[in-house]
Structure 1
Amino acid sequence: MSNEKLFSFQTGKVTHFTTVDYVLFGLLLVFSAGIGLFFAIKDRRHNDTKTFLMAGGNMNPFPVALSLLASFMSAITLLGTPAEMYNYTTMYYWIGLSYLFVAFGAAHVFMPIFYRLRVRSAYEYLEHRFSKGVRTAGSMTFCFQMLLYMALVLYAPSLALNSVTGFTLWGSVISVGIVCTLYTTIGGMKAVLFTDSFQVGMMFAGLLAILIQGNIELGGFANAWEEAEKSGRVYFTDFSPDPKVRHSAWSLVIGGTFTWVAIYGVNQAQVQRYCTCPSLKKAQLAIWLNFPGLCLILYLCCLIGMVVYAFYSKCDPFSFNLVKTSDQLLPLFVMDVLGHLKGFPGLFVACLFSGALSTISSGLSALAAVVLEDVIKAYFFKNLSENAATNTSKVLAFVFGIICLGLTYVASLLGGVLQAALSLFGMIGGPLLGLFILGMMFPWANKWGAYSGLLLGLVFMFWIGVGAQIYKPYNPKAPINITGCNWNLTTTAAPATVSAFNQSIVSTSATPFFNSTEPAPVTEDESVLAPLYALSYMWYSATAVLFVVVVGLIVSLLTGPEDPKKIDPKLICPLFDILFPYLPEKIRKPMRFGVRHDEVDKESKEGGIFADINTDVLNQEIKVDSVEKGKEREANGFVKTENGNAPTKNGVENGGYAVIETEFVSHL
């Protein structure tokens, strides 16, 4: 390929991959599969579920943090966020503030509950708190959500690859899906964690390459910012309380907090990851290490979006079908500014698929764990051997990978990937979050309230979501310009979709190009429920939580509320103790609503509600060497300590191993 830079708005054509680009993309798949194969060989003698699903329970917080970051900062974020900047305004920057509250909530509100119970499936909590049926309902809801989300994540980068290379859309879907399924199936959680760590590096490398080269083409980021200001895209001050406003500061910070807490707080894919750390403190460290990474990826994508707009500010690529969907915008930009540099487009697509591979592998591992623990072991084979359980997990991961491939066609019908993904989190993840909040923070709730809240919450949110697709809310986009397109047009005029409004650029003032409270055009066939359908998708999760909690409490009160004094305090979150630990005890005690947290506090070794679980939790698991050795040691009254020191008689000291049964030791 010539080194001459021929941009699409000069030629009307899209540059395609070179051989070097294909090689780089292929190496990503080969390396990812190689990591899975490496851990399959390395851990071949440890064919147990703790190794396969929990990575042995002794992972360093740093790779766990990178895996947490990669799991849901996927190709959807990499494609959708720059398109958001191009199509709308900079209001989306506000969602970064919600990540701070998400990290706090996940690390200090939800995570300690799961560590207290020593769960492998997050939905085990629902059985302890409500009933086995509620546990099953929660886990099946999660499976449905995760399968749809993984299909969306797989489809998005495949569409991008198709748009910039000519490589068949479904060929890329199948090849990437199969590679991801194989390395997750054979390598287990360790393969997922270390592959995610590598893939995060690929994501950052790709984003930085795009941003740097884009700024070079524009003569600096100041020029990009100036162009965005001229179009009214630089706009941070929409504080409208109207929930119908697509993006306001309130919807992005408050609504975004609920949306992402549903992911980081109670989603099995994330719970399973931070439970691979050996202690609560290390798991909390992994969450907080993950926080700056979330912000860095978000703001890199936002800055790239502003550069993309400045680059096409005089020639909108949508107007003449250079791209057909917003998700193809960034790939077009990459081929324009990096296409003359062999290998860099391949790096970009490898960056996109790194996000996809990490998310899908995380999802497959989580689905395998949930179905094994919540369905197979809970209902069919309670005494399943470790070898059989591990092999079953591998089969489940493989089967779910195939199902995910089939559902990718459904994902292709959902429109823009960023809004579709966040809407999905709200419609399904929101009611699930509401179910956990109902159980953890409202000790009066019973199982009937849980059933009713979850079921009606899902129905209500799907009603809103489907209605929003039928009666699409009025969300005007930013103005565009086509006066700078330099190639000879074969059409006699601009397409009809390019209105006079869109062809004009607004003044250089900082005034936004539209008023957030501007009324939508009224049509005769508009539904009377249109205001409900116009609810911003960023409020879906918060709305679902409120609906589930209110319905759950009402039904619980009608059917006989639980007595807070009789509930195991390990199942209830002492929220006011966490938020206001320095208030006097006489103020905090009434806020526990009768739950016996003070008794747990007295039993703690170091004082404090959760102090007793800041030890190596998963390493407290009792190990069985063999029946013969166990009997011999039990007869002699000795057990082996973990650090290999002298035996301890008649029991297990902190950190030691007993040889009695394969259950977790509770210090509570």
Structure 2
Amino acid sequence: MSIPGTPVAQFTVWDYVVFIVMLLISASIGIYHAVKARGQQSNSQYLLGGRQLTAVPVAMSLTASFMSAVTVIGTPAEVYRYGAIFLIFCFNYVVVTIVSAEIFLPVFYRLNITSTYEYLSMRFNKPARYIGTSFYIIQTVLYTGIVIYAPALALNQVTGLDLWGILVATGLVCTLYCTLGGLKAVVWTDVFQMGIMISGFMAVIIRGVVIQGSFERIWNISYHGGRLNFWDFDPDPLRRHTFWTIMVGGSFMWTAIYGINQSQVQRYIACKNQCEAKLSLYLNMVGLWITAICAVFTGLTMYSNYHQCDPLTMKQVKAPDQLLPYLVMETLHDFPGVPGIFVAAAYSGTLSTVSSSINALAAVTVEDLIKPHTSLSDQKLSWIAKGLSLMFGIICIGMAALSSLMGSVLQASLTIFGVVGGPLLGFFLLGMIFPCANATGAISGLAVGFLLTLWIGIGGQIYPPLPDQTRPLPLSIEGCLVNITELPEPVTGSPWTTINPVSELNSRPAIADTLYSISYLYLSPLGTMVVLIIGFIISLLTGGRKNKVDEKLLIVKRDLLCCFRSAKTNVHSKTEITKENLHGIADSGKDNPTFSDQELNYSEKENHIQSTTRL
């Protein structure tokens, strides 16, 4: 056990070598795909890999994108302080995968779209598309900057890595391979980075088992410390994490990510057929299970090491997100290069998330804001997309730098990222479920839902829940080698909290202990339901939809498990005419009129082709 005040080990030459090699391999993948596609890379090839990707690499890419550095560093700290109830998310992932694969994927895939927000112009009108795109760009730039900066700060304060040198280096490497190689580079780099991240987790777990003597001892220490709190069925919506908040709230939150978020959807619609796309989501579910189990076991390993001497209480670390880097440097410093593997794992999480964001930001900007207003060739659009990737990469690095100067904005940005997903999910579901929904109702519902969740989210940061609702599980310092007479106040709140909230009881309004204290996971279902209800009512009050909606834009029964009933046909090429017609209809800025006879005849032809290829 370390003594308070004793500096933890710093990075060695071998640790730097491991870290630099990870960056070089990531950059090399992008350069390889750029050279391979030299002179023949179209806009579709750059943004969607020519729609010829297969399930396994896409699945690993989806999982790697989910595993940001917040997951690698923050989840074990969450388990250390609040227990292993986080593992309930594994049930959550089953629901999210089925809904995304069987409901959202068939709609997006058959429309042959590049940006998910193209759907909004097909179903409603152009303003709806621009609103959805704007929401996505703002939240993604803010969140990506924080994803770059927050782990860099945590690792700098524990390992001694130069903050700005590593921040700029990782940002530039990520921007380089995204700009040069496009989606294929992003996907295959994610595959490599996924392996690095799992290796980082396993290094910590294996070392913990060696220190404790067996995994059984880690499990027993965690059990007696109250960390195996899997089955908490308290229905109180004010409780931060219970079975119900995770299953209900978490399902909506992650469906908004896997169902409609451009960063995730862009990967599986790039698969060569719908069956491969669905398979990628189901394989991704297995990847999410592995990720969650590794993160939780890492947290339990950390608790077994510090269950009698908490580094937070002893001021050995300043914040919860520094716990895991501290553990790595303390227990693995005798193994040259192994701490470098962990730091490479943390930054692999950052690279995979940032690369996904940059590629997706370029895609939505080209498809939603540039392509509809120009007649540029596919080759020129490809070059524009590369330029946008470079631009967004630089913007995200700048946002990371700006984050260091905006303490209160960091938490506000994360709050915005959390509250946008629910209303946007409702926005899409309204169009896919209710044929009578019109643009007026949809946009009105989105506005009400977003303002409500934003109000609650910001209110919850200004007036955080009472300590009884967010208090961590007990932590001990009885086994520390040095006693201290004055202990700091217990660390509370999120690992990423950087603001000083108004916590005095006499200054709290009554609403702070009810609506503002609701679990953050319930913001997504609340936003979704408000958009559906308000959007449906206003659509009826404004006359509903006056023209029939094409069936391709709705969720239909035959979408379910369709790839097991038909041969592997490439839907993209067969629906291109319909997509162009839909875009032409949406250009009017009004609700889409009835489809033309030409379009209906094309739909009948497509159905005939599909029926002749059934097994």
TM-score by length of 2: 0.87
2:314–2:477 Cα contact (<8 Å) kept: no
Q: 1:447 matched to which residue of 2?
A: 439
Deviates most, 54-63 or 167-176 = 167-176
Question: By how many angstroms is 1:47 displaced?
Answer: 2.8
Query: Aligned partner of 2:515: which letter?
Result: L
- SS of structure 2 residue aligned to 1:532: coil
The 1:136/1:236 distance shift into structure 2, 3 A limit, reads same
1:38-66 residue CA offsets vs partner (Å, 9 max, x unmatched)? 11111012131111101111112111111
The 1:141/1:612 distance shift into structure 2, 3 A limit, reads farther
Query: Aligned partner of 2:510: which letter?
Result: V
Residue 480 (structure 2) pairs with residue 485 (structure 1): yes
Residue 471 (structure 2) pairs with residue 462 (structure 1): no
Question: By how many angstroms is 1:430 displaced?
Answer: 1.3
1:422–1:538 Cα contact (<8 Å) kept: no
Query: Aligned partner of 1:399: which letter?
Result: M
Query: Aligned partner of 2:509: which letter?
Result: S
1:145–1:429 Cα contact (<8 Å) kept: no
Q: 2:519 matched to which residue of 1?
A: 536
Q: 2:489 matched to which residue of 1?
A: 497
- Which runs of structure 2 are paired with 1:325-474 in the superposition (5 Å)? 325-378=319-372, 380-381=373-374, 383-409=375-401, 411=403, 423-474=415-466
- Which runs of structure 2 are paired with 1:553-572 in the superposition (5 Å)? 553-562=536-545, 566-572=548-554
Query: Aligned partner of 1:27: which letter?
Result: V
Deviates most, 419-428 or 475-484 = 419-428
1:325–1:416 Cα contact (<8 Å) kept: no
Q: What's the % identity of the aligned pairs?
A: 42
Alignment match of 2:296 (pick from 292, 295, 302): 302
Query: Aligned partner of 1:139: which letter?
Result: T
Q: 2:612 matched to which residue of 1?
A: none
Question: By how many angstroms is 1:434 displaced?
Answer: 1.0
Query: Aligned partner of 1:529: which letter?
Result: I
Q: 1:290 matched to which residue of 2?
A: 284
2:143–2:414 Cα contact (<8 Å) kept: no
Residue 581 (structure 2) pairs with residue 667 (structure 1): no
Q: Aligned equivalents of 2:377 and 2:516: distance in 1?
A: 50
Question: By how many angstroms is 1:619 displaced?
Answer: 5.3
Unaligned runs of 5+ in 1: 1-6, 503-520, 582-607, 624-662
The 1:352/1:143 distance shift into structure 2, 3 A limit, reads same
Higher RCO, 1 or 2 (CA under 8 Å, sep at least 6)?
A: 2
Q: 1:227 matched to which residue of 2?
A: 221
Unaligned runs of 5+ in 2: 493-502, 578-601, 608-615
Q: Aligned equivalents of 1:323 and 1:9: distance in 2?
A: 12
Alignment match of 2:569 (pick from 611, 615, 622): 615
- SS of structure 1 residue aligned to 2:176: helix
1:131-168 residue CA offsets vs partner (Å, 9 max, x unmatched)? 01101111111111211221222123312320332122
The 1:666/1:248 distance shift into structure 2, 3 A limit, reads farther
Alignment match of 1:551 (pick from 513, 534, 547): 534
Q: 1:188 matched to which residue of 2?
A: 182
1:71–1:362 Cα contact (<8 Å) kept: yes
Question: By how many angstroms is 1:89 displaced?
Answer: 2.1
Q: 2:261 matched to which residue of 1?
A: 267
Alignment match of 2:110 (pick from 116, 128, 137): 116
1:306-326 residue CA offsets vs partner (Å, 9 max, x unmatched)? 110110111111123211111
- SS of structure 1 residue aligned to 2:505: coil
Residue 502 (structure 2) pairs with residue 524 (structure 1): no
Residue 18 (structure 2) pairs with residue 24 (structure 1): yes
The 1:336/1:466 distance shift into structure 2, 3 A limit, reads same
Q: Aligned equivalents of 1:98 and 1:51: distance in 2?
A: 33
1:82–1:304 Cα contact (<8 Å) kept: yes
The 1:438/1:328 distance shift into structure 2, 3 A limit, reads same
2:84–2:230 Cα contact (<8 Å) kept: yes
RMSD (Å), alpha carbons: 2.7
Higher helix share: 2
1:113-135 residue CA offsets vs partner (Å, 9 max, x unmatched)? 01121101111111110001101
Q: 1:146 matched to which residue of 2?
A: 140
2:159–2:325 Cα contact (<8 Å) kept: no
Alignment match of 1:91 (pick from 85, 90, 94): 85
1:564-621 residue CA offsets vs partner (Å, 9 max, x unmatched)? x81111111126x667x9xxxxxxxxxxxxxxxxxxxxxxxxxx79967951234558
1:620–1:665 Cα contact (<8 Å) kept: no
- SS of structure 2 residue aligned to 1:350: helix
Question: By how many angstroms is 1:264 displaced?
Answer: 0.7
Q: Aligned equivalents of 2:284 and 2:415: distance in 1?
A: 23
Question: By how many angstroms is 1:424 displaced?
Answer: 4.8
1:228–1:309 Cα contact (<8 Å) kept: yes
Q: 1:258 matched to which residue of 2?
A: 252
- SS of structure 2 residue aligned to 1:533: coil
Alignment match of 2:159 (pick from 162, 165, 188): 165
Q: 1:51 matched to which residue of 2?
A: 45
Question: By how many angstroms is 1:227 displaced?
Answer: 2.0
- SS of structure 2 residue aligned to 1:16: coil
Residue 76 (structure 2) pairs with residue 82 (structure 1): yes
1:330-354 residue CA offsets vs partner (Å, 9 max, x unmatched)? 1011111111100000000111111
Query: Aligned partner of 2:473: which letter?
Result: A
2:313–2:488 Cα contact (<8 Å) kept: no
Q: Aligned equivalents of 2:81 and 2:413: distance in 1?
A: 17
Q: Aligned equivalents of 1:166 and 1:8: distance in 2?
A: 18
Q: Aligned equivalents of 1:170 and 1:432: distance in 2?
A: 35
Question: By how many angstroms is 1:171 displaced?
Answer: 2.3
The 1:290/1:59 distance shift into structure 2, 3 A limit, reads same
Aligned residues between the structures: 568
The 1:222/1:10 distance shift into structure 2, 3 A limit, reads farther
Q: Aligned equivalents of 1:609 and 1:440: distance in 2?
A: 20
- SS of structure 1 residue aligned to 2:88: helix
Q: Aligned equivalents of 2:407 and 2:254: distance in 1?
A: 20
1:437-459 residue CA offsets vs partner (Å, 9 max, x unmatched)? 11111222110111111222221
Q: 2:100 matched to which residue of 1?
A: 106
Deviates most, 18-27 or 425-434 = 425-434
Query: Aligned partner of 1:430: which letter?
Result: G
Q: Aligned equivalents of 1:666 and 1:486: distance in 2?
A: 78
Higher-Rg structure is: 1
